Amino acid sequence: MINYDVLRQVEEIYNSGGNIMQFLNQMSGGEGVQNTKEAILISYDFQSGSYVNAYKKNPGVYEKYTKEISDEIKTFGPFSTILEAGVGEATTFKQVIKNLDIPLENCYGFDISWSRLKTGNSFVNEDIAGNANFFVADLSDIPLMNSSIDIVYTAHSIEPNGGYEKPILEELYRVAKQYLVLFEPDYEFANDDAKHRMESHGYIKRLADTAKELGYDVIKRELLRFPLNPLNPTSVIVIQKTSKSRVDGIFQCPVSKTKLTDCGEVFFAEQPRLMYPVIQGIPCLLKSQAILGSRYNTM
């Protein structure tokens, strides 16, 4: 974990309107622009609430954007479970689920930032119908079983992870059962100004090409008509996956890859007897959050 003095500096930078990600990456001493996982976590965690505020200031823009996303997902036929990977403050998730207007068994969303999920939980619960299940997790180490979710989608959550396209795609594809749908910035379709912006922020490149190189069935790739930011053009990339596997449970331990059981106060993996805390209703399922509980269910 980053030390307290650095977190204090980060708070000062945030309060003065500075760029947290840039500061943290400069501290890491890396060459070029490649955002570290730690920089992404800290930057977005300190920004918690800003996305809900932006939504409330201009809901019309979000409504057009999220309707286009939900209209795309509706074309995939019957499904009962859906996951937004990198759900953030649920400003996309909330509208997409409402616009789908179909009965769903479960709706899931995860993010690396607990603070953003807590903000999103409050935002979603204002008026959304359905069973929204949020949990803390890492895009490159998702605590879900293979082929456990019918539809997995992202909405600008892979965006800041330039250089990590392959491992993230592999995890998302592993979890998806029917379709993996990526609503992400498309460097190859962008103009020069947008490309320069993406490069300066360490954004992803060649997402569709990487998926094809992995052998995935990319059945669609085209620009959305209503991106949230014209300087950040969004493409939809649809990857079809046919899986007939049936899973016993949904969650798996990020360390052992064995079944995780929801015990209320914790999520527990019988093997290797690890516990993951549930904080204000949000399970924290990162490897770093595992607690050894060899006697948890025996005392």
Contact between 85 and 135 under an 8 Å Cβ cutoff? The reply is no
pLDDT confidence band for 278 (50 / 70 / 90): very high
Is residue 226 in a domain?
yes
Same domain, 8 and 86: no
Same domain, 92 and 187: yes
The length of the chain, given as a count of residues: 299
Domain count, the chain: 3
Res. 125: pLDDT tops 70? yes
Higher pLDDT, residue 156 or 129: 156
Which tokens sit at 295? Answer: 């006697």
Is residue 175 in a domain?
yes
**In the prediction, which pLDDT does 102 show?**
80
Same domain, 14 and 92: no
pLDDT confidence band for 128 (50 / 70 / 90): low
Is residue 245 in a domain?
no
Q: What is the rounded distance in angstroms from the CA atom of residue 24 to the CA atom of residue 1?
A: 13
Is residue 52 in a domain?
no
Same domain, 261 and 220: no
Higher pLDDT, residue 125 or 172: 172
Res. 4: pLDDT tops 80? no
Same domain, 116 and 37: no
Percent of the residues in the chain that have a pLDDT greater than 70, as a whole number:
93
Higher pLDDT, residue 231 or 299: 231
Same domain, 201 and 154: yes
What's the rounded mean pLDDT across residues 206-215?
96
pTM of the full structure: 0.91
Same domain, 13 and 93: no
Res. 33: pLDDT tops 70? no
Res. 183: pLDDT tops 70? yes
Same domain, 89 and 152: yes
Kind of pairing between the strands at 291-292 and 274-279: antiparallel
Same domain, 19 and 143: no
Is residue 282 in a domain?
yes
Edge-to-edge strands of the sheet including 217-223?
132-136, 106-111, 81-85, 149-155, 176-185, 234-240, 217-223
- Which of 240, 271, 290 finishes a domain? 240
- pLDDT one-digit tens code per residue, 135-147: 999 999 999 999 9
Same domain, 153 and 133: yes
Is residue 53 in a domain?
no
**In the prediction, which pLDDT does 5 show?**
72
Res. 130: pLDDT tops 80? no
Res. 44: pLDDT tops 90? no
Q: What is the rounded distance in angstroms from the CA atom of residue 233 to the CA atom of residue 136?
A: 28
pLDDT confidence band for 37 (50 / 70 / 90): confident
pLDDT confidence band for 23 (50 / 70 / 90): confident
Same domain, 101 and 231: yes
CATH number, domain containing residue 287: 2.20.25.10
What's the rounded mean pLDDT across residues 264-272?
94
pLDDT confidence band for 29 (50 / 70 / 90): low
Same domain, 28 and 142: no
Is residue 164 in a domain?
yes
Domain that holds residue 94: 58-240
Span of 43-57, 126-140, 170-184, 223-237 with lowest mean pLDDT: 126-140
CATH number, domain containing residue 97: 3.40.50.150
**In the prediction, which pLDDT does 2 show?**
58
- pLDDT one-digit tens code per residue, 71-98: 999 999 889 999 999 999 999 999 999 9
What value does the CA radius of gyration of the chain take, rounded to a whole number of Å? 19
Is residue 246 in a domain?
no
